[in-house]
Structure 1
Amino acid sequence: MRDKFLVFALLFTILSCSEEDLPIGLYDYQVERLLSGQSGSKTWMQIVNSTDCKDSVRLHIEFVPNQSGDSLNLSRISLLNNCSSKDTTLIGRANASKANGRDLFTDSLNFRSGDFWIIKNVTSKKLTLTDNETTISYIANGL
């Protein structure tokens, strides 16, 4: 009986520590802070299977508080010229979605332009999102 309990406890611990799915019950501002980091600015590195640094794309997210609600500025950083210089493209300003009348995060980043990205998974170290029907995975810069 004791062995069964230990196996059950081990299985429960492994499953409870999983970072595979979007955590349930997060508030919209918590998701914005996960995306932008504690300092208010965070760069995510796209996971690519290549040794060419030109394939490496970074997503820079900056937390920008404003009077009409908290927002995120998103930029894409690409490496150029044998990876010695960078090109930064502003994607836009977005807010984490929330349910009507509640501050719980639903599933997306909503841009002012009307576009949106679906967030599949977000932790302090990993980010998976769907951008225009393409799923992209990122890791926090420096990992």
Structure 2
Amino acid sequence: MEQPRPHKIPQSVLVVIHTPALDVLLINRVEPALYWQSVTGAKDSEDESFEQTAIREVFEETGINCGGGTALHADLIDWGLENVYEIYPRWRSRYAPGVTHNTEHVFGLRVPEGTPVTLNPREHTAWQWLPWRAAADACFSPSNAEAILLLPEFSR
């Protein structure tokens, strides 16, 4: 007998992955189609830090390892921003009854040009690098687009 999935925690990360030239990695969701976005994902447990969530989600969704001890770890930057938004009705069943809003913590991750990307095929179907303004225009999520538009302010 299959165990019921635990409810998602309404705390997540948004990680804007970018090159020094400010090209942004966007990944296309499996469902719904043509939902381009940066890396996103919820905490696995209440005690998982936002940084741990960001490291885990980046690796799970793109194959890019930015964990402690890696060359990229220093380039994972907490932007100190949070977005609170209403969870789309199509995804509310993943959360506990009555949960309607999510708090999203924003990070940036600078990677070298040509960094290989390996998608998780259960979650995403395609990836592309776009100049930051074009990437913001391509995002389905308003909070994701707004974060990308802040990239020049937060990049080093």
Length-normalised TM-score, structure 2:
0.23
Structure of greater relative contact order (alpha carbons < 8 Å, 6+ residues apart): 2
From the CA coordinates, give the structure whose radius of gyration is larger.
Answer: 1
Return the structure number with greater helix share.
2
Q: TM-score, normalised by structure 1?
A: 0.24
